[in-house]
Copies of this chain bind each other. A is one copy, B any other.
Amino acid sequence: MAANDAMMDLLRVLKDKGSITQEEYELLSGAAKADDETNSAGQGEIKAAAATLPRIETRGKLELATPDGEFSWRLGGRIHMDAAFMNNDTGFDASGAKSDPTLTSGTEFRRTRLDLTMTLWRVWQAKIQYDFTGAAAAGFRDVYVRYLFKGAQPGHLTVGNFKEPFSLDELISSNDDTFNEHSIATNTFSLSRQIGLQYSTWGHDLWTGTVGVFGEDPVASANHPGAGNDAEGYSVVGRLTLSPFHTADRVAHLGLAGSWRTPDQGDSGITFGPRPEINQADILVTTGAIPGIEGYTRLGLELAGVYGPVHGQAEYYNVDVNRGDELALGAAGMFEDLNFDGYYLQGGWIITGESRPYKFESGTFENPKPRSIVGNGGWGAWEAVARYSHVDLQDDDLGICMLATAANTCGEQTNLSGGVNWYPTPNFKFTAQYVQVLDIDGGRYDGAEPGIFQLHTQANW
């Protein structure tokens, strides 16, 4: 594709007409060819250099990659800040051994993370993510090494610290949660991140399957060396999801997850008890540390969908606690098995018309992407949200539970929450949400109905 064809043509014409001699023609066409090579070389050099330039993304995220994508580096992070204002409802019956909740208003950093996610040599990945609001083992979040299967059956094998495949609410990134905090049901029954090994795969644009073996979280695990415990606790966890359709504005999602866990025999007991949907608030119902647990089985059911700007999500959790009979408790002579459960229903309406996006391969949802940007003449995306949640930590066989002592406050809790979320750009989110405890039935705070208002400020990149 020489760029001086005209000169070559002209020389030929002039030679044919005898305007220049054959000798002159040869000299001149030689010079013309040299010109062309000089030109092409200059451009080619630049094009070659440009082709090897990394692909650099700076709009909304920071990612450097090779042009073929075989290597990529993304420096991500998030800042989540909260201010909570508590209404303690101190007017309820505080006679007997019961006490008022003393929820403290105030501010806190909820999450301050940096992470580096790398694709290396095409089929390998590694991620290191640290949350500075923790320290040492408490600060570990996703830290893993992953192998990508790129063949006929796509999938990945992951080893490290990451979320177990249990609970849609838990698996959705904290950047993308509809509510500031998980429901009391999720918070009670999901274990979030642990050190483990997991295989995940998917197919037919319809189903995903994930199965993993997990030990303990890094804090619990770091307490082992030299501590003389018998063994590290471990789980087998699996999750299946089904999504018959998932377009930009229509999604149906079903999920089923199960887990069987043997706790560390050195632990003094396992506790089930949630924060009341605001991190800064005290736990209001809890089983206390249950002794003698040999293992427990968890079950989770997920149902979620998107219909234009409206989205809904519901889950049911059940845990079946198996306790050994080798230890006696009072007159009862042995430990009884226990069963707890909980559920939530939540929904949102994106007033500005965007839809909540679905990620098929992980079976999770993301924040709506605002169509109009604040700072570019727009108003961002606005969303109204509501949630009803319930957890039942009452089991007659727990025995010690109805005593409602300070140390052991099991019972039932029901919450109703509502709020407004504002997404001025894809990187920022502000929410104002109110959690009303509808009822606490049993336990230390029996009958209390505190309310909590929370402002949440978020940057994620």
Contact = CB atoms under 8 A, between A and B. Distances in A.
B218 A109 contact: yes
Contact of A31 (B5, B133, B427, B461): B5
Interface string A227-247: 111111000000000000000
Copies of this polypeptide in the complex: 3
Contacts of A291: none
B28 A6 contact: yes
A362 interface: no
A172 to B, nearest CB: 22
A331 interface: no
A232 B105 contact: yes
B71 A60 contact: yes
Given A13-B24, A19-B19, A106-B221, A427 B64 contact: no
A228 B104 CA distance: 6
A252 interface: no
A338 interface: no
A376 B39 CA distance: 36
A432 to B, nearest CB: 14
Contact of A376 (B20, B122, B376, B428): B122
A143 interface: yes
A230 B124 CA distance: 51
Contacts of A49: 50
A353 interface: no
A296 to B, nearest CB: 20
Interface string A31-71: 11011001100110111011001101011101011100011
Interface stretch (A73-81, A183-191, A439-447): A73-81
A294 B54 CA distance: 57
Nearest to A66: B58
A94 interface: no
Contacts of A135: 135-136, 139
Contacts of A65: 58
Nearest to A73: B62
B43 A425 contact: no
A281 interface: yes
Interface stretch (A110-118, A198-206, A344-352): A110-118
- Interface centre among A49, A58, A105, A282, by most B CB within 10 Å? A58
- Interface centre among A17, A45, A126, by most B CB within 10 Å? A126
Interface string A125-165: 01010101111111110011100000000000001110000
A126 B9 contact: no
A457 interface: yes
A124 B459 CA distance: 10
A121 B375 contact: yes
A22 interface: no
A150 B262 CA distance: 58
Given A6-B35, A35-B6, A136-B133, A128 B77 contact: yes
Given A5-B34, A457-B145, A56 B60 contact: no
Contacts of A140: 109, 112, 132
21 contacts: A6-B34, A9-B27, A9-B28, A19-B19, A42-B47, A50-B50, A53-B53, A58-B65, A58-B71, A59-B70, A60-B120, A75-B116, A106-B225, A108-B221, A120-B425, A120-B427, A121-B376, A123-B374, A123-B375, A128-B132, A145-B428
A329 interface: no
Contacts of A45: 47
A173 interface: no
B225 A461 contact: no
B132 A130 contact: yes
A248 interface: no
B77 A116 contact: yes
B109 A425 contact: no
A306 to B, nearest CB: 25
